[in-house]
Amino acid sequence: MAEKPLIFITNDDGYQARGIRLLEKILRPLGNVVVVAPNIEMSGKSHAITGGKPLKLSCITKEEGFEEYSLEGTPVDCVKMAFDKVLNRKPDFLFAGINHGSNLSINTIYSGTMGAVTEGCSEGIPSVGFSLCDNDKEASLADCEEFVREISKDVIENGLPKDVCLNVNFPLGKIKGIKVGHQAKGFWSEDFTTSEQEGEKTIFWLGGEYHCTDDSPRADWNIVNEGYAAIVPMQVDFTAWKILDNITSRFSKI
Amino acid sequence: MAEKPLIFITNDDGYQARGIRLLEKILRPLGNVVVVAPNIEMSGKSHAITGGKPLKLSCITKEEGFEEYSLEGTPVDCVKMAFDKVLNRKPDFLFAGINHGSNLSINTIYSGTMGAVTEGCSEGIPSVGFSLCDNDKEASLADCEEFVREISKDVIENGLPKDVCLNVNFPLGKIKGIKVGHQAKGFWSEDFTTSEQEGEKTIFWLGGEYHCTDDSPRADWNIVNEGYAAIVPMQVDFTAWKILDNITSRFSKI
């Protein structure tokens, strides 16, 4: 019998979040599981890393086939810490989430959960992020459980193309099926809430609203709004290849 | 005579860094300049945003054609704050840097400076990030000054393609010219420094080493190592379009 795969799990909602607990439950039968997740919520931390201050690691659980740690750091810190110091080797797979909140469209760029996924991908590990499109930390995860299990099994069995990771988003409630698509075009309009003064400083709270500008039926935002789970294959090469040659002739003249 | 363009500037090294001071000096003759930059160093903050705590804004300078503010927040917070509360409208252009340290290859994903640039791009603003490939905050910026000026002038005059921003990196010392290229393939190997114990917690400091795995002469890492400035056009669509159809047929079976 083949050795069990080494599965690494993290998230950005913190190691005590309901989403990561369910992900652990789903993945433990599929391999040896090691969790390193932030000790507190780290939503919106994107691909941030911690320089200039120490990272504190605590062991929560250590038993046959399952280890869990919390780290006073970002999700990407968790990945790097795990790969260098917690695991005896790089994991075979990285799974992140289940995130409480959408990582559709441009939102993936702000997400700590997807930061961890792209970090894993950049280090050559087949990596998948799962998100439930509801910010309520108490929202029911029941409807996505079977889909998380089946997608995870497929990735563990068949791997992923080189340099590609998956961003999986679920609608709340009954899920009609899975559709593969692309990142929807869209943007955020800012709306900072009322300011106060603190001496010379003006105080604001960040707020805003997302606007989808993509009417493609394959845009992830639209897939989820139709009641399907959206899988977007992502890469960590940000080069705008399509316009590379145009830009080349233009700036070569300077 | 046409109205002067409204130019927004930020960085991740903080508003007092030498790099942003030079960028201000270069751009002030080219338009009305507004700066909102972090009050302290925010390197490695990527696309992080600040939720759950307030953002404090201080006015440093306010004169005809030039305003400067510091914000207790990340570079992306600075962009959002500027667009919503500081400027009377969206800027015509966003420039970030001059960053003290390389944003070549995968390093762009960790960079607060490039986080600000991609935020600007996602909101439809022609946006450019400049970086000097030397971490020494006292390194000479003299050799890149003229290149920053010429690239900025070109972008202000001709704009940028829709949904594309520029990542510009300079070698230290004499610059042979400009080459346009792509993000180099590469990865970081972690190397956390010696741990201590604090009760049950183990303490680490993040460290690591970058490895370029790309031998293309058009890879940004290689361009800079040949003594040229590297310009990479970047996009904020992370979809792995090339493999989209393969992945579609595979996951549609679940």
Pick among A196, A204, A209, A245 to test the B interface (most B CBs inside 10 A): A204
The shortest C-alpha distance from A83 to chain B (Å) reads 8
pLDDT of residue A197: 87
> C-alpha B93: how far from its chain's center?
14
Span A147-172, average pLDDT = 97
Asked if the model's pLDDT at residue B151 lies above 70, the reply is: yes
Please report where in the chains the tokens 């600040």 appear, as a residue.
Answer: B50
> Does residue B187 sit at the A interface (CB-CB below 8 Å)?
yes
Contact B17, A162 (CB under 8 A): no
User: Is there a contact between A206 and B247 if contact means CB atoms under 8 Å apart?
Assistant: no
- Residue-wise pLDDT for A175-205, tens only, equals 999 999 999 999 998 888 877 888 989 999 9
The shortest C-alpha distance from A33 to chain B (Å) reads 21
pLDDT of residue B2: 66
pLDDT of residue B162: 93
Provide, rounded to the nearest whole percent, the portion of chain A with pLDDT above 70.
99
Pick among B76, B79, B201 to test the A interface (most A CBs inside 10 A): B201
- Residue-wise pLDDT for B156-204, tens only, equals 999 999 999 999 999 999 999 999 999 999 999 888 887 788 898 999 9
DSSP summary character for residue A139: S
Spatial distance between the Cα atoms of A10 and A142, rounded to a whole number of angstroms: 20
Tokens representing B87 are 């400027």
In this structure, of A144-158, A236-250, B148-162, B191-205, the range with the lowest mean pLDDT score is: B191-205
pLDDT of residue B1: 47
ipTM reported for the complex, 2 dp: 0.94
Q: How many CB atoms lie within 10 A of CB A2?
A: 4
Domain A6-184+215-251: assigned CATH number = 3.40.1210.10
**For residue A180, what is the nearest residue in chain B, using CA coordinates?**
B248
Asked if the model's pLDDT at residue B253 lies above 80, the reply is: no
Indicate the average pLDDT of chain A: 94
> Does residue B40 sit at the A interface (CB-CB below 8 Å)?
no
Taking contacts as CB-CB distances below 8 angstroms, the residues of chain B near A239 are 182-183, 232-235
Q: How confident is the model at residue A156 (pLDDT cuts 50, 70, 90)?
A: very high
- What is this structure's pTM? 0.95
Pick among B167, B169, B251, B252 to test the A interface (most A CBs inside 10 A): B251
User: Is there a contact between A154 and B240 if contact means CB atoms under 8 Å apart?
Assistant: no
- Residue-wise pLDDT for B66-89, tens only, equals 999 999 999 999 999 999 999 978
pLDDT of residue A97: 96
pLDDT of residue A2: 66
Domain boundaries, chain A: 6-184+215-251
- Residue-wise pLDDT for B79-128, tens only, equals 999 999 999 789 999 999 999 999 999 999 999 999 999 999 999 999 99
Please report where in the chains the tokens 């190397």 appear, as a residue.
Answer: B191
